[in-house]
Chains A and B, each alone.
Chain A
């Protein structure tokens, strides 16, 4: 549904302000998926999203939505997408419902349809009781919900959302997660960026990681985790109490063990090879009661940190 090939964006013509925000970025977003777009601050997420939303022209390369090029067929792309910026801005003195009615006119929706659609959408995003309030009276979470409502106004097959859950409280995050899944079940392709990696892991079917303007990984969420599981140093979670300090030091000196850390429930042993049997034997031989020892799963966060060198999202 979304195809990006060799996308490059350079800001500024002079050398002093020359910034290469995107550098030959290529990936695609399959139809009817929820694609999580991850990357540290300044990695190029918002630039990519703004190009897809036809707001920014690319410097080089191509991006298309539903087979329509964002540069040459911008109008067709605009009809296919619903876009929600990270900080959706509204006219302070207009009510939520008036905003939807105003934007609805751009899609040539008849007045009756606009009214019905506005009401339905306000209900959908949980603003049914607030639809007659002016936007200046909305909280951050309510503005986010209104931002999503305006993106859904013309029932687009593709949603492009920049940090939809950013700044929301846990209830808001859960609401958005469930709504994303519901919209996806209804057939929509959702392309979203997020800082909340756990949320992406729970919501997204596919993930792309961008770092310093370059794509460093794309695939399904499971694929990314499996792939990174092969490259990230394995960790043994040892459930054992009262391990003497001297024994911990002995474990650190074992071949292929790179670090041993204490926790409330036992030890985390970081290895460059799976030497759980040797660790277990060493502990049992010393008389420690080992209740369990297993390999830690690689989370999306682990994968992200490994891919981006530990830079903050």
Chain B
């Protein structure tokens, strides 16, 4: 009871504290992004340039000055912008410069004191294919990693492709907007971004580095829940589960009640499973209460409920995390003959799966010769997480992150499929349960 109340206070307090922090949001350079594309008219006219000014999320910016310069030579070190024409974006952020002909055409976007220059190459003939994918990356969260990806899909004639399916590592993320835009936020690692247009797949790989900031500032219900889930539940969950289950069997043994349990008309398998369920319930019931109270607290503080799928992953993932640790401790407890050794085993389990796991990863990369920050490194880290219930918990939460948080705070699946976390949990729990039953049948006498 005491642990539950303490946990509740910590989680509500954290939610309250986080709700008061301001969002960093995109900076001015991310609020006004110049998207310029060649336009090859089908009526035989000379090629031109179409321009969209939008933020990183693809929201158009009207009334922005766009200047077209005289054509230039590529890589000209003496380049000077000589203005040829100036136009203002319309209500959707669009503006066009038709009938320009082949060459390198410079563009300038002018927003207050901000001037951004871009160069568009117009080929004498249209490029092959149905569409072109323009992909740009931004650092929005201020964590040192360019994890926000904006993309626009354009047809050769200069029209945007609306409704094109955007996939991330093969998983559908959504469809392009009416102006051909789509936004992704990625975690550290290598990502394959692909867009399907009329049977043609346009794709590009994106490599996102680790966050350079250890504790990001978050806002909004999902961000707060993210923090509660990853940081607080990731830390407190194992501690609570271990603290309440480390002597589940050892205590029965040294207080003498185990013998009275063993002579009841139940099979050893039934007794082992029953012991697990009883211990798990004693841990899970108060924790679920804390979780529901936390969700309600987040909603009360921010005025919004966290995204349902993410909240469900938070609750179910936590249950699986607790079940895994309860089973691990039940197995250890089967062998422990005294309170002292039981406590030592609890500390050992927590230490290995939480405090020392990074050392395990470090040792693994050293032995295998994997260089940090490479795609192989991220893949190895994610795979290593599968061998640790706390790591599987992280992967499970990451798999169900809302799209706008995808990749936030360095969360990454490292190329693993989204189902890897939940499936790993099922395997962990099933495997541990089998081991717990076997050791109970053979070692409990």
B255 near A89 with CB under 8 A, answer: yes
Answer yes or no: B445 CB below 8 A from chain A CBs: yes
Contacts A55-B445, A56-B445: A78 and B260 contacting too (C-beta < 8 A)?
A: no
A107 near B255 with CB under 8 A, answer: no
**Which residues from chain B contact A54 at a C-beta distance below 8 Å?**
262-263
Query: What is the CA–CA distance of A16 and B260 in the complex, to the nearest angstrom?
Result: 31
Query: What is the CA–CA distance of A31 and B236 in the complex, to the nearest angstrom?
Result: 57
**Which residues from chain A contact B258 at a C-beta distance below 8 Å?**
89
Query: What is the CA–CA distance of A117 and B255 in the complex, to the nearest angstrom?
Result: 25
Contacts A55-B445, A56-B445: A107 and B265 contacting too (C-beta < 8 A)?
A: yes
CB distance from A218 to the nearest CB of B (A): 25
**Which residues from chain B contact A50 at a C-beta distance below 8 Å?**
259, 445
Query: What is the CA–CA distance of A271 and B265 in the complex, to the nearest angstrom?
Result: 55
**Which residues from chain A contact B116 at a C-beta distance below 8 Å?**
none
**Which residues from chain B contact A107 at a C-beta distance below 8 Å?**
264-265
Answer yes or no: B257 CB below 8 A from chain A CBs: yes
Contacts A55-B445, A56-B445: A88 and B260 contacting too (C-beta < 8 A)?
A: yes
Answer yes or no: A121 CB below 8 A from chain B CBs: no
Answer yes or no: A7 CB below 8 A from chain B CBs: no
Query: What is the CA–CA distance of A56 and B443 in the complex, to the nearest angstrom?
Result: 10
> Considering only CB atoms, which chain A residue lies closest to B264 in the complex?
A106
Contacts A75-B265, A79-B265, A83-B263: A89 and B257 contacting too (C-beta < 8 A)?
A: yes
Contacts A85-B256, A90-B257, A92-B255: A103 and B262 contacting too (C-beta < 8 A)?
A: no
Query: What is the CA–CA distance of A87 and B253 in the complex, to the nearest angstrom?
Result: 12
Answer yes or no: B426 CB below 8 A from chain A CBs: no
Query: What is the CA–CA distance of A81 and B266 in the complex, to the nearest angstrom?
Result: 13
Answer yes or no: A265 CB below 8 A from chain B CBs: no
Answer yes or no: B358 CB below 8 A from chain A CBs: no
**Which residues from chain A contact B204 at a C-beta distance below 8 Å?**
none
Answer yes or no: B282 CB below 8 A from chain A CBs: no
A53 near B255 with CB under 8 A, answer: no
Among B258, B259, B262, B263, max chain A CB count under 10 A is at B263
CB distance from B336 to the nearest CB of A (A): 16
CB distance from B36 to the nearest CB of A (A): 74
Interface string of B246-280 (1 = CB under 8 A from A): 00000010011111101111110000000000000
> Considering only CB atoms, which chain B residue lies closest to A162 in the complex?
B259
Instruction: Select one of B259, B263, B267 contacting A89, CB under 8 A.
Output: B259
**Which residues from chain B contact A83 at a C-beta distance below 8 Å?**
259-260, 263
Majority-rule SS of A interface residues: loop
A81 near B256 with CB under 8 A, answer: no
A78 near B263 with CB under 8 A, answer: yes
Query: What is the CA–CA distance of A90 and B258 in the complex, to the nearest angstrom?
Result: 9
Contacts A55-B445, A56-B445: A78 and B264 contacting too (C-beta < 8 A)?
A: yes
B260 near A81 with CB under 8 A, answer: no
Contacts A88-B256, A89-B257, A91-B257: A75 and B267 contacting too (C-beta < 8 A)?
A: yes
Answer yes or no: A150 CB below 8 A from chain B CBs: yes
**Which residues from chain A contact B255 at a C-beta distance below 8 Å?**
89-92
Query: What is the CA–CA distance of A249 and B263 in the complex, to the nearest angstrom?
Result: 61
CB distance from A195 to the nearest CB of B (A): 19
Interface string of A168-212 (1 = CB under 8 A from B): 000000000000000000000000000000000000000000000
**Which residues from chain A contact B264 at a C-beta distance below 8 Å?**
78, 103, 106-107
A87 near B256 with CB under 8 A, answer: yes
**Which residues from chain B contact A89 at a C-beta distance below 8 Å?**
252, 255-260
**Which residues from chain A contact B260 at a C-beta distance below 8 Å?**
83, 85, 88-90, 103, 150
**Which residues from chain B contact A150 at a C-beta distance below 8 Å?**
260
> Considering only CB atoms, which chain B residue lies closest to A75 in the complex?
B265
CB distance from A229 to the nearest CB of B (A): 39
**Which residues from chain A contact B266 at a C-beta distance below 8 Å?**
75, 78, 106
**Which residues from chain A contact B257 at a C-beta distance below 8 Å?**
89-91
CB distance from B329 to the nearest CB of A (A): 19
**Which residues from chain A contact B267 at a C-beta distance below 8 Å?**
74-75
CB distance from A163 to the nearest CB of B (A): 13
Query: What is the CA–CA distance of A88 and B260 in the complex, to the nearest angstrom?
Result: 7
Instruction: Select one of A55, A57, A91 contacting B263, CB under 8 A.
Output: A55
Query: What is the CA–CA distance of A54 and B264 in the complex, to the nearest angstrom?
Result: 10
Query: What is the CA–CA distance of A267 and B102 in the complex, to the nearest angstrom?
Result: 138
Query: What is the CA–CA distance of A90 and B266 in the complex, to the nearest angstrom?
Result: 19
CB distance from A266 to the nearest CB of B (A): 50
**Which residues from chain B contact A90 at a C-beta distance below 8 Å?**
255-257, 260
> Considering only CB atoms, which chain B residue lies closest to A54 in the complex?
B263
A81 near B445 with CB under 8 A, answer: no
Interface string of A72-104 (1 = CB under 8 A from B): 001100110101010111111000000000010
> Considering only CB atoms, which chain A residue lies closest to B267 in the complex?
A75
CB distance from A296 to the nearest CB of B (A): 42
Query: What is the CA–CA distance of A75 and B264 in the complex, to the nearest angstrom?
Result: 8
**Which residues from chain B contact A92 at a C-beta distance below 8 Å?**
255
CB distance from B331 to the nearest CB of A (A): 20
> Considering only CB atoms, which chain A residue lies closest to B257 in the complex?
A89
Instruction: Select one of A55, A85, A88, A106 contacting B265, CB under 8 A.
Output: A106
CB distance from B417 to the nearest CB of A (A): 44
Which residues of B342-400 have CB atoms within 8 Å of chain A's CB atoms?
none
**Which residues from chain B contact A56 at a C-beta distance below 8 Å?**
445
Query: What is the CA–CA distance of A286 and B66 in the complex, to the nearest angstrom?
Result: 147
**Which residues from chain A contact B265 at a C-beta distance below 8 Å?**
75, 78-79, 106-107
> Considering only CB atoms, which chain B residue lies closest to A160 in the complex?
B263
Query: What is the CA–CA distance of A225 and B164 in the complex, to the nearest angstrom?
Result: 100
* Interface residues of B, Cβ cutoff 8 Å to A: 252, 255-260, 262-267, 445
> 8 A-B contacts, Cβ less than 8 Å apart?
A53-B263, A55-B259, A57-B445, A75-B265, A79-B265, A85-B260, A89-B259, A90-B260
* Interface residues of A, Cβ cutoff 8 Å to B: 50, 53-57, 74-75, 78-79, 81, 83, 85, 87-92, 103, 106-107, 150
Q: Given contacts A55-B445, A90-B257, A150-B260, could you give 19 more A-B pairs where the C-beta distance is less than 8 Å? A: A53-B259, A53-B262, A53-B263, A54-B263, A55-B262, A55-B263, A57-B445, A74-B267, A75-B266, A78-B265, A79-B265, A85-B259, A87-B256, A89-B255, A91-B255, A92-B255, A103-B264, A106-B266, A107-B265
Q: Which 9 A-B pairs have the closest CB atoms?
A: A89-B256, A106-B264, A89-B257, A83-B263, A78-B265, A89-B255, A85-B259, A55-B262, A79-B265
